[in-house]
Amino acid sequence: MKALATSLICLFIASPAFADVDPRITSRATAIEQDVIAWRRDIHQHPELSNREFRTAKLVADHLRSLDIEVMTEVAHTGVVGILEGGKPGPVIALRADMDGLPVVEMTGLPFASQERSEYNGREVGVMHACGHDNHVAILMGAADVLAGMRDELAGTVKFVFQPAEEGAPQGEEGGAGLMIREGVLQQPDVDAIIGLHISQGAEVGTASYRPRGMMASAQRFAITIEGRQTHAARPWAGVDPIVAGAHVVTALQTIVSRQVDITRAPAVVTVGTFNGGIRNNIVPNEAHMTGTIRTFDPDMRLAIHAKIRQVAESVAASFGATARVEISPGVPVTYNDPGLTEAMLPTLHKVYGKDRVILAPLVTGAEDFSFYQEEVPGFFFFIGGRPADVPQEQAVPNHSPLFDADEGALLFGVKAMSQLAVDYLAAHRE
């Protein structure tokens, strides 16, 4: 998941209660807990970048086949889909986990830390599960095991969606949730609802958090090319300096959120993440390039910010005699939890975690391509706490950090949650 915020509030200290969790789920999940931990460590030690999750996909597919679950592979390049038909008629619920790692050199010092190297957009990089997707895959593998053991009692069908490229496909490629949808992941059989989770250290292990309606931001990538006129750096007046013009564009972009949109309506972020220009110290280059991200929760504000980015870049560049070319990707929409589905699933989280340990989350400026599924069918996305109980909130390690890790105690909670959510949804909507 991209730049997940770690500001989730966790102030509760009561012990979780499991009295209402299906005893079959509790028994089976507990029995396979060490397997889930082993899967997570194996996946963590062997991370793979987006659209390159070959080893992970094989591990998943082999496990699903061992459970006599129907398996489809190579969906959206490396995705795996498992179909578990229950013994009774009913609806179709999809459970989703993302599989890809990030181009990050791991610095956790874990005995199963990644040493993997790969290529990302033409550069050699380290690879790490710095966003916790290794936990997500292991949890869903565990839930598949639990639910396969309850097959005859299930009133409907569970579709397990192991998705590649949540972090974004490499340049020039398609991938992720959008491509899975186009390749029919929500069809044959048609999915009635979909559920996903994400781990972070924003909350303590043994807690969950949710938010109805808009929960995570819409996100778009922007790229700006400033074109000047190349000259000798000793005679800058003989050309047009795109670096100086670009520097002023970066500064002016910061006024969009701080001065040009009504942030009392909804939060917004405009961040420049890269700036590149020139190849030699004594040459004013012809071009400078920058890229960044836009995060919004309001559709009208999103469109307004897009227009203002173009206006600011073009007008500031023109004031220096340069020109600006702005490109903004379609990106991902707001992660929107269907209100009715959220209300229906909340009691299940209370069963698994205890009512006083299920938290209403604040808005999160991170983004998730799970939002594409939610545009097609009702969806429910929630966070699970992964911060060790003895680590203070202020010392939480953010996702995407080379130091990111999660307390493995969260895995058992996750398996129980995903399993119970599926069982409860099917029971509530059985024919």
What does the pLDDT read at residue 11?
A: 34
Taking the complete model, does pTM exceed 0.85, yes or no? yes
Q: Where in the chain is the domain with CATH 3.40.630.10?
A: 23-216+334-428
pLDDT at 431: 74
Q: Are 98 and 166 in contact (CB under 8 A)?
A: yes
Instruction: For the beta carbon of residue 92, count every other beta carbon within 10 angstroms.
Output: 24
Q: CB–CB of 270/254 below 8 Å? A: yes
Is the bond preceding residue 170 a cis peptide, omega within 30 degrees? no
- Is residue 155 within 8 Å of residue 430, measured between CB atoms? yes
pLDDT of residue 108: 98
Query: Rounded to the nearest 10 degrees, what angle do helices 33-45 and 409-428 cross at?
Result: 110
Q: Which pLDDT score is estimated for 16?
A: 40
Question: CATH 3.30.70.360: which residues of the chain?
Answer: 218-328
pLDDT value for 318: 98
- In the chain, the N- to C-terminal Cα span, in Å, equals 36
Print pLDDT tens along the chain (431 aa).
444 443 433 333 333 444 489 999 999 999 999 999 999 999 999 999 999 999 999 999 999 999 999 999 999 999 999 999 999 999 999 999 999 999 999 999 999 999 999 999 889 999 999 999 999 999 999 999 999 999 999 999 999 999 999 999 998 999 999 999 999 999 999 999 999 999 999 999 999 999 999 999 999 999 999 999 999 999 999 999 999 999 999 999 999 999 999 999 999 999 999 999 999 999 999 999 999 999 999 999 999 999 999 999 999 999 999 999 999 999 999 999 999 999 999 999 999 999 999 999 999 999 999 999 999 999 999 999 999 999 999 999 999 999 999 999 999 999 999 999 999 999 999 87
Contacts of 38 (CB under 8 A, 6+ apart): none
Domain 218-328 sits in CATH 3.40.50.300: no
What pLDDT, on a 0 to 100 scale, did the predictor assign at position 121? 85
Which of 3.30.70.3420, 3.40.630.10, 3.40.50.10470, 3.40.50.720 is the CATH number of 23-216+334-428?
A: 3.40.630.10
Residue 414 to residues 38, 107, 252, 287, Cα–Cα distance (Å): 15, 25, 44, 49
